[in-house]
């Protein structure tokens, strides 16, 4: 059930969502090709993910990977494009 709500997000929507939650795009972009590298560091944790900007949208399975990598709850992802 949870994955269906998360499917079909566009890369720009994922990037915007993560930036609103404290992620910053790395200046020295280590991603390959058209990947956007995003990082959020707190006192105790470090979250890193890459978003492929060349994709039209992401499947539910790919979105669940972003949920795990970003440390943002599924409930928060469901609320917000």
pLDDT at residue 20 in the model: 95
Domain residue spans of the chain: 2-79
pLDDT at residue 6 in the model: 82
pLDDT at residue 34 in the model: 82
Q: What is the mean pLDDT of each run of 10 residues along the chain (81 residues)?
A: 70 95 82 82 92 92 93 89 65
Backbone angles phi, psi at 74, to 5 degrees: -60, -40
pLDDT at residue 4 in the model: 57
CA atoms of 67 and 71, how far apart (whole Å): 6
pLDDT at residue 26 in the model: 87
**What is the assigned CATH class of domain 2-79?**
alpha beta
Q: Residue 41: in which H helix or E strand, if any?
A: strand 35-41
pLDDT at residue 80 in the model: 79
């Amino acid at each position: 059930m949870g994955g269906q709500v998360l499917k079909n997000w566009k890369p720009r929507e994922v990037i915007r969502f993560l930036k609103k939650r404290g992620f910053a795009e790395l200046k020295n972009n280590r991603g390959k090709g058209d990947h956007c590298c995003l990082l959020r560091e707190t006192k105790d944790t470090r979250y890193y993910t890459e978003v492929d900007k060349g994709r039209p949208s992401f499947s539910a399975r790919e979105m669940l990977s972003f949920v795990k990598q970003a440390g943002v709850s599924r409930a928060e992802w469901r609320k917000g494009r």
